[in-house]
Amino acid sequence: MTPETFNAWLLEDAVERVVLVEAMADKGLGVDEPVYLSTSAYITLDTDVPANTAYLPAITDVTPVKESLSLEANATLSMGSIEVSNHEGDLDEWLNWVFDGRPVTVSIGSAAWPREDFQVIYKGVVTSLEVSGNDAFNLPITGSLQRLNGALNDQVDADDQTLPLALGEVSNVEPVLIDPANLVYQVSTRPIGGIIEVRDRGLPVNFSQNLKNATFQLGAMPFGQVTCSVFGDAGVSGVEHTDEIGPLIRRLATEFGPDPLSPDEIDYDSFTSFEAANTQCVGVYVDERENLLNVLSLLARSVGSAVATSADGRLRIHQLREPSAGASVMTVSPYNMAQDSFRVRSKLDILTTFKMGYNRNYSPSAELSAGVPVEHQRLLTEEWRYVTASDPALVEKYKHTKEPEAELTALQVLAESQAECSRWWSLFSQQRYIYTFTGFAECLQLQLGQDITVEYPRYGFESGKAGLIVELSKNWLDNTVEVGILV
């Protein structure tokens, strides 16, 4: 079935929609088995996958999942749920089943369609079975990103010390001494792109490096603290060093964490457009137990972006930016929305000054050798460097006199950091609003981060105005969607 055919079907009023749910559960045998549920009777054909399978028509409600991109550049997929009737007690055995952390797929279509024509509307994981009185169960569902909610790097040495992981380009990190007799230090758990320099109490020293083992060896006994700057992870092959945000996020999501995503679970269209526009040099050094989601968030947030799994279960990256009429995917008018549903949801604060931290010094030196040049001393003793963007007239107009707290990033280069700081300040130094409306079936295919044009006889939308989609909550059973746009 083509997308055009499916969209045309969504617009039909006199059709019975069937929701199919396929969840996995451990039913007590130590292996995961599928559970097939539906909103009304449905049996697959002998040519379907799965073949000749009856779905249990016990679903009584499907709570919409809300996708949102916050103004702090955090993308979230709020929890939805599937309500299953147990009025007769036929499903009491579920109390002994384990759904926790298992995948779930929700699809929609017609009872007359073969299974392959049903369209996936949500892929994620079940958090846990919930009991709703004696008559019903709930299966709360959340995004597949939850699979990455765990330790990024849990490799330890003989002393139970976490071995470090260097990503991108990192400055002045303190490596782990793994061979005191031979003065061998380790900077990462996988092959690296190279050691840029090694310092002893702030002064450069001679060394030899082993990129495959991510180690270096000093030529002489150090006098004090040893630090180094590194071109980090080069992939399993050892020849794939990158210091850009998109490639690093894709690598982390598919090669690290408790349950890595497969390459098929990456939305490459999303990443391709993002990576073409964002080539900034970044770096992160992890030398203690750290959550993978925190690292992904830091990398994306460095350029006002966020990662999230979409409703179809694929990893996407979204960047908060100026709405673009030229990139609009559709024009929405009162004809496409519920009556009187278009409204101002919130007025955003004006950003008069923005401050960003960049080029983190991971090991600020308390003691430096006397020979360290004065111009280098500040760089080696302070943890962060900063850039700001501001307009004195705007500060005075809005009476913002308090020094802003810096947004800490993984950016490394001054010019790139200043450009991103100015971009973010420019975006929110003018008055912005969030508008919401309830869209009809034709709006169900909208995606977070897309541009739309809205025409409406109020709020300055009379001739049409561009908006960036920052909120979506799709109700496939009643063919509506709650949409929030940044204008």
d(CA 398, CA 142): 40
Cis peptide before 334 (omega within 30 of 0): no
pLDDT at position 78 is 63
Q: Go through the chain and tell me how many residues it has.
A: 487
pLDDT at position 159 is 67
pLDDT at position 77 is 58
**Tokens standing for residue 412:** 């490394």
pLDDT at position 374 is 74
Cα–chain center distance at 168? 18
Identify which of 332, 126, 167 has the alpha carbon closest to the alpha carbon of residue 253.
167
- Cβ-Cβ contacts under 8 Å for 336 (sequence gap 6 or more): 439, 440, 442, 443
Q: Which residues pair with 32 in a beta bridge?
A: 26
d(CA 299, CA 73): 11
Q: Domains for the chain: give ranges and CATH numbers.
A: 3-146 (no CATH), 325-348+432-486 (2.30.300.10), 353-428 (no CATH)
- Mean pLDDT by 10-residue block, N- to C-terminus, for the chain (487 residues)? 86 86 94 96 94 96 84 66 92 95 93 94 91 88 87 74 91 94 96 96 95 96 95 94 97 93 94 96 94 94 91 89 94 96 95 96 85 78 94 90 90 98 96 96 92 96 96 89 96
pTM as predicted: 0.90
d(CA 437, CA 414): 41
pLDDT at position 2 is 85
Identify which of 227, 253, 240 has the alpha carbon closest to the alpha carbon of residue 191.
240
d(CA 225, CA 204): 12
User: Quick one: residue 404, left, alpha or beta (phi over 0 = left, psi -120 to 50 = alpha)?
Assistant: beta
CA distances from 8 to 1, 112, 115, 437, 454 (A): 11, 16, 18, 22, 22
Contact, 386 vs 335, CB < 8 A?
A: no
Reduce the DSSP state of residue 480 to 3 states and report it: strand
